[in-house]
Amino acid sequence: MLLEAIEHRPKINWASALDKETIELRIRTKRSDMKSVEVYAGDKYDWGRTKRYIPMRKLASDSLFDYWQAFAKPEYRRLRYAFALDDGRVKLWMTEQGFEPEEPADPNQFFDFPYLNPADIFSPPAWVKDAIFYQIFPERFANGDPSISPENVEEWGGEPRRDNFFGGDLQGVIDHLDYLEELGITAIYFTPVFEAPTNHKYDTRDYLKVDPHFGTNEKLKELVDLCHERGIRVLLDAVFNHAGRTFPAFVDCLEKGEASEYADWFHVREWPLDVKDGIPTYETFAFERNMPKFNTENPKVQDYLLKVARYWLEEVGIDGWRLDVANEVDHRFWRKFRDTVKEVNSDAYILGEVWHDSLMWLQGDQFDAVMNYPFTTAVLDFFVEQKLDAKGLTDAMGRLIAKFPTRVTEAAFNLLDSHDTPRLLTLCGGSKPLMKLAALVQLTFVGVPCIYYGDEIGLTGEQDPGCRKCMEWDTDKQDRELFDFYRTLIGMRRSSEALRTGTFRVLLAEPNSSVLAYSRYTEQEEFIIIVNNTDRPAALNLPVGTGAWSNAWDGSTAHAPQGILDLEIEPYGFRVFKKAE
């Protein structure tokens, strides 16, 4: 038993409230080191009557560790607990004070979950775990009203550049809601729609006004209402880390210098505002002179931005916010932001852009989720970069599942590409079979999938600006077979509780192999997903348990005599099986 590998800390991600009655407990041990782990738990004020052992199950594994999980329902919402660890040779108890060879008698030395306070429960909106998101870059999705296009608008479908316009607008989205509904989309994430001089709108001029080239505030409300009629939620992009150079408060600072009443709205190192040797004399996003960083510690800045957050929720009825460059804004502001948003709509989704370890934003007092780029990296490292074998991918998946409490993982925003990255088909070298495998994993893994507009009909594109090309609306130029693949997969996920919130279990993931099999299951149903990420056929004898399995793609039946599925998977092929009733 390697004691140095064993880790547990009360609270954070190791002991958390699942709901008003349940505490989720986790512990880490060396991989393949333990035969069993149990929680020894009870009420600190009534230990003798309430103490009991709760078996833990192995939740996930990565390259170094196993992660064990159990759920406790303390009668009085309090819990004292220790862990009983058995490696088959030695049994030890782990308390807050260390390891003991005998069952400890004094619970005062145990870990303590003092009280299950309802206010501390991490509760992302219930609808999110069931959602299928679709990201739209408004300027490039559809031109529905040419009369409001910029004067220098170019012909739809031309070569995208960082500074050109093609006239996409909100009416264009309205015109294609039937298309999104046919695909199976249930939520839209829009990149910024507020007034700004660029095509991407991340340099906001007016946070309370829809950009005139997109439409009006009334048109956005019309779009949101029409989406809601179809069961589609709407998420807007909040650029609260920085404003644009044409933002009135910053213009006033440019004109008046230190005398401006807005001088403390920004982080200024040296007046007048200037750029020296390529570095602005004021804080910005990524040294970009046109994106001055807000001082969110300033109460007036806070009041303004929180007014913006409240306005679009109340007046237009949006369903949440995606927060740009969220990790560069102070935590105290985000706590105030959450309180403001949830006061208006407790069901609103708060999604932060954080590319790295995001645990500190996901404690229930700031965000509901972050854009899950670690998931993106793991999937692309397996299918595209070939940096990971099957075991490496499942180790990465296990690490992601173990990193956060269950409610956090269920609401994680899983993407494979976006307006900030090359498109998925381009990353896959134009290989549609490879792209399908990546999308299959995305739509059958734990968390909430988001599809970047046009991926489903075969749009390609390198890094920005290539990834921001115009949507193709000529059906003769769309890959309709790929569209049908996405539609079928989305429909499968939407109709299956197991694929949305079921337990994840690895069935096959060997070192030096690119053949992967895993299951998603609940008490009522189970799916098996198999992918062959090689250019050779793969023969499998996969233990799946007794019973019949139906091919979820074509409805055929696959039998598993003695609980073994005998399969041959074509190069870059896949299978999805559902356990027959």
CATH number, domain of 169, equals 3.20.20.80
In this structure, the answer to whether residues 491 and 517 fall within a common structural domain is no
Share of the chain above pLDDT 70, in %: 100
Parallel, antiparallel or unpaired: strands 557-559 and 548-551: antiparallel
Tokens of 84: 């009983």
Listed residue (351, 358, 367, 376) closest to 236, CA to CA: 351
Question: Is 81 in contact with 51 (CB distance < 8 Å)?
Answer: no
Query: How much of the chain, in percent, has pLDDT values that exceed 90?
Result: 94
User: Are 366 and 338 spatial neighbours (Cβ–Cβ below 8 Å)?
Assistant: yes
Whole-number pLDDT of residue 555: 83
Q: Do 234 and 319 touch, CB atoms closer than 8 A?
A: yes
In the predicted structure, residue 566 carries a pLDDT above the cut 80? yes
Distance of CA 366 to the CA centre of its chain: 15
Q: Do 475 and 459 belong together in one domain?
A: yes
Q: Would you state the pLDDT for residue 554?
A: 85
Q: What is the pLDDT, as a whole number, of residue 562?
A: 83
Q: Does residue 126 sit within a domain?
A: no
CA dihedral over 334, 336, 338, 340, signed as positive or negative: negative
* C-alpha closest to that of 375 among 397, 402, 353, 403: 397
CA distances from 368 to 248, 265, 323, 327, 417 (A): 32, 27, 11, 14, 21
CATH of the domain at 23: 2.60.40.10
Give the pLDDT confidence of 65-77 residue by residue, as tens digits: 999 999 999 999 9
Which of 113, 60, 83 has its CA nearest to residue 7? 83
| 381 is a domain residue | yes
Average pLDDT along the chain? 96
Task: From residue 22, give the alpha-carbon distance in Å to each of 70, 129, 174, 212.
Answer: 10, 19, 43, 50
397, part of any domain: yes
For residues 439 and 399, state if they share a domain.
Answer: yes
CATH number, domain with residue 546: 2.60.40.1180
Shared-domain flag, residues 290 and 302:
no
Q: Residue 379: is its pLDDT beyond 80?
A: yes
Please, where are the H alpha helices in 70-138? none
Which of 89, 120, 151 is the last residue in one of the domains?
120
pLDDT of residue 561: 80
Residue burial 302-338, b: 16+ Cβ < 10 Å; e: rest: bebbbebbeebbeebebbbbbbbbbbbbeeebbebbb
Determine contact, residues 204/239, Cβ cutoff 8 Å.
Answer: yes
250: domain range? Answer: 242-295
Q: Is residue 561 part of a domain?
A: yes
336 lies in the same domain as 471: yes
Residue 325 located in a structural domain: yes
pLDDT at 33 over 90: yes
Calpha distance 77→73 (Å, rounded): 7
> 173 with 102, same domain?
no
Which two tokens mark 32? 């393949």
Q: Write the CA distances from 527 to 59, 446, 503, 524, 533, integer angstroms.
A: 18, 13, 10, 11, 19
Q: What are the distances in angstroms from CA 289 to CA 42, 131, 283?
A: 58, 37, 9
Q: Please check whether residues 165 and 284 belong to one and the same domain.
A: no
Instruction: Identify the pLDDT of residue 145.
Output: 98
Query: Tell me, what's the pLDDT at 11?
Result: 87
Q: Give Cβ neighbours of residue 216 (< 8 Å, ≥ 6 apart).
A: 210
**378: nearest Cα among 361, 362, 391:** 391
- Look at residues 67, 86, 120 and tell me which one is the last residue of a structural domain: 120
Domain boundary among 90, 120, 150: 120
Residues 320, 247, single domain; the answer is no
Mean pLDDT for 314-341 is 98
The per-residue pLDDT for range 430-466, each reduced to its tens digit, is 999 999 999 999 999 999 999 999 999 999 999 999 9
Work out the number of other CB atoms within 10 angstroms of the CB of residue 36: 15
Q: Which of 548, 118, 179, 23 is closest to 364 using CA atoms?
A: 118
Q: Specify whether 11 is located in the same domain as 67.
A: yes
Q: What angle do CA 173, 176, 180 make, to 5 degrees?
A: 100
Residue 307 pLDDT more than 90? yes
Question: The CATH number of the domain where 258 resides is what?
Answer: 3.90.400.10
Band of residue 546 on the pLDDT scale cut at 50, 70, 90: confident
Looking at the structure, tell me whether residues 397 and 487 fall in a common domain.
yes
Sign of dihedral through CA atoms 146, 226, 138, 215? positive
Q: Per-residue pLDDT averaged across 150-165, rounded?
A: 97
Residue 125 lies in a domain: no
pLDDT score recorded for residue 559:
81
DSSP 371: B
What integer pLDDT is reported at residue 556 of this predicted model? Answer: 84
CA distance 386 to 427: 12
- And the tokens for 578? 């559902």
Distance between CA 365 and CA 502 in Å, rounded?
Answer: 26
Looking at residue 580, what is its pLDDT? Answer: 74
- Active-site positions read 324, 353
Cα–Cα distance for residue pair 9/119, rounded to 1 Å: 21
pLDDT of amino acid 12: 86
Quick one: tokens of 371?
A: 């854009």
- Nearest 5°: phi and psi at 434? -70, -40
Q: How far apart are CA 379 and CA 439, in angstroms?
A: 9
Count of structural domains, the chain: 4
Does the residue 291 lie in any domain? yes
CB 7 within 8 A of CB 37: no
Q: Where are the alpha helices (DSSP H) in 160-237?
A: 170-175, 177-183, 217-229
Mean pLDDT of 90-96: 97
pTM of the model: 0.95
Q: What is the pLDDT of residue 560?
A: 82
Kindly give the pairing relationship between strand 233-238 and strand 320-323. Answer: parallel
Q: Judge if 413 and 471 occupy the same domain.
A: yes
* 470 and 545 both lie in a single domain: no
Nearest residue to 529 (alpha-carbon basis) of 519, 537, 541: 519
Burial class of residue 109 (count of CB atoms within 10 Å of its CB; 0-12, 13-18, 19+): middle
